[in-house]
Amino acid sequence: MDFDSFKKKLTPTYHSSTYPTINPTRPELSQAGKTVLITGASAGIGYHIAKAFVQAKADKVIILGRRVDKIKAAAETLSVESQGTKVVGLSCDVGSATAVAELWGRLAGEGTRVDVLVLNAANVGIPETLMEQGTKGVWEAYDFNVRAQFDMTERFYKQELGAGSRKYLIHVSTLATHDFDATTQLPTYGLSKHAGALTLQFMAMYEIAAEDMQVVIYHPGAIFTEACVNAGFTEDSQPWEDASIPAGFAVWGATPEAEPIHGRFVCAAWDVDELRSGELGKRLREDRYFLRFGVNGLYGL
């Protein structure tokens, strides 16, 4: 995996650690009164996103993970750091349709309305060619990165509790959705993540207004996680970006300030003030195809 290619600079400023505008403690980003549900949050980027929402004073943060011991430990640690936020850790395999149905049934039964859904869990695939993986291996990636993500999205959007209230969907994506050269050894990762993100983009572009459900799709950056360790990288492999970047960006994305990027694909390290101002801001307002997936040479014609 070529992490250098993951650093695409659109804004003049490219951040490697958090900065004031996306700082979760900034009053304008307060998540008070909201319940936040985060998948894949027992460790890594998902855990840091949960921590940021705790810092932003969400009423409740529900973190999901498959391993009972890890999700329990993560919830306990976040609870210690909390200043009033209720942190709940639930074991749930979001790749299982049965488990997801049970999860949303449980939430509805408890009278819990989810205001912010962060889709962070993903199938990263295996280092084999498409033909080596075969139909079964390829479809497993699509099943998780497309079907399972849409399943969570549909249930989130169609909640009976709080019908009519503005919802925020945050999708942790990857530059591999369009830069396939970056992950050639993990072909199903980029291909299936592209399809999953494109599904959300289509909804945001043609079906669902930001005032109804604001959709933010973003690349988290080159963050040193367990997946990087498993891929053979070390802390010295390259200058990694701090997890506070995708974490703070997720909180910022769950506010009306991020409405200009509804349904667009962006990178967490781009400066959001520069993105929304000047020529870039003008293009966001006027070019409906800007920062959306399409065909090189044809998109927007």
Task: Confirm whether 107 is domain-assigned.
Answer: no
pLDDT of residue 267: 96
Task: Confirm whether 69 is domain-assigned.
Answer: no
- Is 96 catalytic? The answer is no
The CATH number for 222's domain is 3.40.50.720
- Is 51 catalytic? The answer is no
Q: Which of 47-51, 182-186, 191-195, 237-241 has the lowest mean pLDDT?
A: 237-241
What single-letter amino acid sits at 158? K
The residue annotated as part of the active site, out of 34, 57, 60, 193, is 193
Per 3-state DSSP, the chain is made up of helix, strand and coil in percentages (nearest 5) of 45, 15, 40
User: b/e per residue, 25-58, with b = 16+ CB within 10 A?
Assistant: ebeebebeebbbbbbbbbbbbbbbbbbbbbbbbb
Query: In whole numbers, what is the pLDDT of the chain averaged over residues?
Result: 92
* Contact by Cβ (8 Å): 238, 13: no
- Is 193 catalytic? The answer is yes
pLDDT of residue 55: 97
pLDDT of residue 300: 59
**pLDDT tens across 81-118, in order?**
898 999 999 999 999 999 999 999 999 999 999 999 99
Tally of domains within the chain = 1
**pLDDT tens across 13-58, in order?**
999 999 999 999 999 999 999 999 999 999 999 999 999 999 999 9
Whether pLDDT at 228 is above 80? no
* Contact by Cβ (8 Å): 267, 217: no
Residue 134's CB: how many other CB atoms inside 10 A? 11
Please give the residue range of the domain that contains residue 223: 3-25+44-50+116-286
pLDDT of residue 7: 60
The residue annotated as part of the active site, out of 42, 173, 192, 244, is 173
Task: Confirm whether 275 is domain-assigned.
Answer: yes
Whether pLDDT at 301 is above 60? no
